[in-house]
Structure 1
Amino acid sequence: MLTSKQRAYLRSMANGMDAIFQVGKNGVTPELRETVHTALEARELIKINVLDNNMLGPREAAEMLSSRTGSEVVQVIGNKFVLFRQSKTKPVIELPKAPKA
């Protein structure tokens, strides 16, 4: 679970990124899930665009892909959303530390 500070940090990183995938009229297919899973392992932070002809809204598509890939939804804005998942092999993004409870 991301803290608000970590989420803000990731949002700032994603600000200049372009969307690398599109969720089209077929919705969240197993092929899309697999390519998003692979991209998250390589990049850790990705932006995805939801096309207007899709039956799902951006929030629903983000939640569905997040649950199927084990990632976190960083942000949903307009027709785009950002996902984050720490790489298992070689982490690239270092998040701000969460405060001790």
Structure 2
Amino acid sequence: MLTGKQKRYLRSQAHHLNSIFQVGKGGVNDNMVKQISEALEVRELIKINVLQNCEYDRKEVAEELGKRVNGHLVQVIGNTIVLYKESEENKSIQLP
């Protein structure tokens, strides 16, 4: 579990990132979860955009993604989700 200080740090690091995934009408599927897991292993911190035509609430999508990739939900702001998962091989972010 991330502390408040760690979440603030990760939010500041994620501010300059672009969204690399979009969740649309189909919602979250197995292929998307696999790709997000691989991206988290490489980058550790990613942004995901929830499109307006998504049938599910953005907070539900964020919680489901966090659970399925075994990552931490850092923030849901607007239609953007920020996820963090510590990399086993490519560790680049040092949490305070």
Do both share a fold (TM > 0.5)? yes
Larger radius of gyration: 1
Q: TM-score, normalised by structure 2?
A: 0.98
User: For 2:90 and 2:14, how far apart are their aligned partners in 1?
Assistant: 19
CA RMSD of aligned residues (A): 0.6
Q: TM-score, normalised by structure 1?
A: 0.93
User: For 1:56 and 1:5, how far apart are their aligned partners in 2?
Assistant: 30
Please tell me the residue identity of whatever aligns with 1:58.
Answer: R
Write out aligned runs for 1:1-101 (5 A).
Answer: 1-96=1-96
User: For 2:53 and 2:60, how far apart are their aligned partners in 1?
Assistant: 14
| Matched residue count | 96
* Unmatched runs of 5 consecutive residues or more in structure 2: none
Measured after TM superposition, the shift of residue 16 of structure 1 is 1.1
Percent identity over paired residues: 50
User: For 2:90 and 2:25, how far apart are their aligned partners in 1?
Assistant: 34
Cα distance per residue 1:10-36 (max 9 Å; x no partner):
000001111000001010010100000
* Unmatched runs of 5 consecutive residues or more in structure 1: 97-101
